[in-house]
Amino acid sequence: MTVESIVENMFELDSPINELNRLLVKYGLTQNQAKVYLYLSKMGIKTASEISKSLKIPRTETYHLLSTLQQKGIIFSVFGKPTKFNAVGIDESVVILLNNEKNRINELETGKESIIKLWKMIPKYSTSKEKSDENKFQTLQGRNSILVKLEQMIKESSENILVLGTELDFKKFYHTDFTNLLKKTKSELRILTDYSSKGMHIFEDIPSKKIKKLDDKNREDFCFIIKDDTEVIFFVSNSELKDMMALWTDSKTFVTTLRSLFSLIWKKAHHIDESNAESLLGSEITYEHRLREIEQEKIILNYLQKNFKLSEKKLGVKK
């Protein structure tokens, strides 16, 4: 078997190498940097020319990649003519990359005050008066950007946090500060979710009285978090999107509408430690009253559907 065929097999679509490549990107490498590192890890000592030919990467780019990987400390050169390269072991490399990211974050933290100080020194040249009461909309692309916003909302909350979402939605943020902050928040916490015994670990340490079961499967397309009735993050469900996407807004109309929807569903839902029978026995909901609730929900959902599509169009979100 030739070197070229070995490399082709290494980087096939269903190969573990491709999954490793994807994971290493999260540690601060580009796809080609990860590719070169993994190639050297499995193929051993190689020259830049051999790497370029095997991976079909231009020679000039290959030299740049090798230089960057050496600076990161996960490959090293072997003196000789021509110069050859080899990779540091995967265990040591992961630790090095992790420490590099930690150091970068520490540098950013250290430079924060300097950035703010310099910014305040620059005069403001805008002549038009900004409207402080203007509704703001922000698209959040990717898990990390959404997570940062969620954590900020929970930390700043002083009144209430309302969460509506499926267990699958929660699992995306499990083992992060988001779930820890939810457990520790002093704000009034209410969670509506499609609860099952398999997902009990997601809600551990959160009192059951704060959680109600989302029985209506039609609500599984909805996922949102409201903070203090002033801000909301609404998750965009779209199969065409590779990354998670959400819409954040402080629009009073949007927040109030979703708050009303949450209240309607919360009112008729039962706590996770109650049975359906107990819930029905404990409530005296007339047929007419239930019809009015359904009508209210229909009005709210129609409003959201109409206005949310307009907001997506305004923000350039493709459906």
CATH classification at residue 19: 1.10.10.10
Q: Which residue has the tokens 């359904």?
A: 294
Query: Which helix (H) or strand (E) segment is 277 a member of?
Result: helix 276-281
C-alpha 311/C-alpha 313 separation (Å) is: 5
142 in the same domain as 85? no
Q: Please check whether residues 166 and 81 belong to one and the same domain.
A: no
Identify the bridge partners of residue 141 per DSSP, sorted by sequence position: 245
Q: What is the pTM of this model?
A: 0.59
The pLDDT score that the predictor gives to residue 126 is 61
* 63 and 189 housed in the same domain: no
Triad 13, 19, 24: Cα angle to 5°:
135
78 and 179 inside one domain: no
pLDDT at 113: 85
SS3 85: strand
Q: Please say which residue of 32, 63, 91 terminates a domain.
A: 91
Residue 281 and residue 195 share a domain = yes
User: Are 85 and 177 found together in one domain?
Assistant: no
Could you tell me if 145 and 34 lie in one domain?
no
What pLDDT shows up at residue 205? 74
pLDDT averaged per 10 residues in sequence order, the chain, 319 residues: 62 71 87 92 91 92 94 90 92 92 87 87 70 73 87 93 85 79 90 70 78 69 88 76 80 87 86 54 50 62 58 48
Residue 267, in any domain of the structure: yes
Q: How many domains does the chain have?
A: 2
Question: From CA 139, how far away is CA 185, in angstroms rounded?
Answer: 25
The reply to whether 116 falls in a domain is: no
Is 129 inside a domain boundary? no
CA angle 190, 196, 200 (to 5 degrees): 70
Taking each helix axis from N to C terminus, what angle separates 59-72 and 90-121, rounded to the nearest 10 degrees?
Answer: 90
Host domain of residue 75: 3-91
Domain containing residue 286: CATH number: 3.30.870.10
Establish if 187 belongs to a structural domain: yes
Asked if residue 105 is part of any domain, the answer here is: no
- The helix/strand/coil state of 158 is coil
